[in-house]
Amino acid sequence: MADYVCTRMEVTQSADVPDFAFSADPPVRSRRVVVLRFVRTALSGLVWFAIVVVLLGVGAAAGSTAVWATDAKVPPQVAAFLRRTGVAMPVRAVQVEPAPVKSGLYDRALVTGIYDRASPSIVEITTIRGERRGSGSGVLISPNGTVLTNYHVVRDATSIEVTLLDHTRLVATMLGRDPQDDIAFLRLEDAPPSLQTLTLGDSDELRPGELAIAIGNPIGLDRSISVGVISGLGRTLRDGDRPMRHIIQTDATLNPGNSGGALLNAAGEVIGITNAIERAAGRTGFGGIGYAVPSSSVKRFADRLLAGEHIRHAWLGISGQDVTPSAARELGVTVSRGVAIGSVVGVGPAARAGLRKGDVITAVDRAPVETMDAFGAYLDRTYRPGDRVTLTISRGSETIETMATLEPWPEGDMAP
């Protein structure tokens, strides 16, 4: 069993120490600064200690004292240790140019260049829902202040605030939303002129193994970057029984707060909006798999979303599974492919069209149906609510055709 975790972060509004929805007892920002300072100090000490140990080893092996030349300042405690052990103190400054890092996939110059260009366009989104505060990420996509994010980041929010690179905080309002694809567009009020933006790339051209760079605000750490690859394409996630289709899978690390952030390609274009993590329930040592809404899903309805529309997707009102040879024998049908209906919503389009549990859908408007995922994706890409479709059904030894009028997916609880 896997848990899909949307990567929005929520905290209580009134408590001194926020109650994070996605991790146990995380520190508040002020405490985190102290902790990070301590960690930096501790790490600095460890690095110096490691250098001393290495030098001592070198000196012993060579039968002499190692001479260490650097332009760094030595902490007093390390200097005392050096004097006690007889290891030489720093004597002169040496300028060492780091070797270029370009091994296989990773190209440091490429990645850092993309980060420098893209990070100013990543914003932090803070929401209020009753007594709870939420946190997520967003991407500036127009100079006049249009922000692209996940719908679940701003869903049911009574207040939306966006923080820019220079820490300017602006009120935002929702323009358009597509709950099915987990997409929302926001408009910034009183946005400064000529905001730096990112371009939407073509996710349809992606291939597994390509570079994937995620930039967002995990647990409030603004504009954090992680690097990985495109691990898979065309995934289907389910929130309850409602599917999110055409999803990108990546091994770039995602955490709570990354939702709404950018997944970038090697050209620095947005090819996805990071939105979920899959974690195996009850399993340790499983780091999780990251997912992103593809840019193709954003582009599909961009004009309508920017015009303020609420996008509704076509819904048939069934749940089903792929037909296998064993399922075909059990159902008493002779077909070897299609979708076997497992349940029919009592007041949905399928029920009105006379479909029953156990029917096998083999075609829609004469286009063959192979699998449940392919069938759902075809309906989603091809039709809109109100469209009429002809379904070819295998029922026992009979093959019949019936008409169904597709409806919008129900609001609220997920429905098959």
The catalytic residues are 152, 182, 259
d(CA 46, CA 6): 37
By CB neighbour count within 10 A (0-12 exposed, 13-18 middle, 19+ buried), where does 58 fall?
Answer: middle
- CA of 54: how far to CAs of 51, 61, 67, in Å? 5, 11, 12
Residue type, 126: T
| Helix 76-85 with 29-62: angle, nearest 10 deg | 20
Check: CB of residue 269 under 8 Å from CB of residue 200: yes
Q: CA 320, 321, 322, 327 torsion: positive or negative?
A: negative
Residues with Cβ within 8 Å of residue 99, at least 6 apart in sequence? none
The amino acid occupying position 292 is A
Ranges of beta strands (E only) in 67-131 are 102-103, 106-107, 122-129
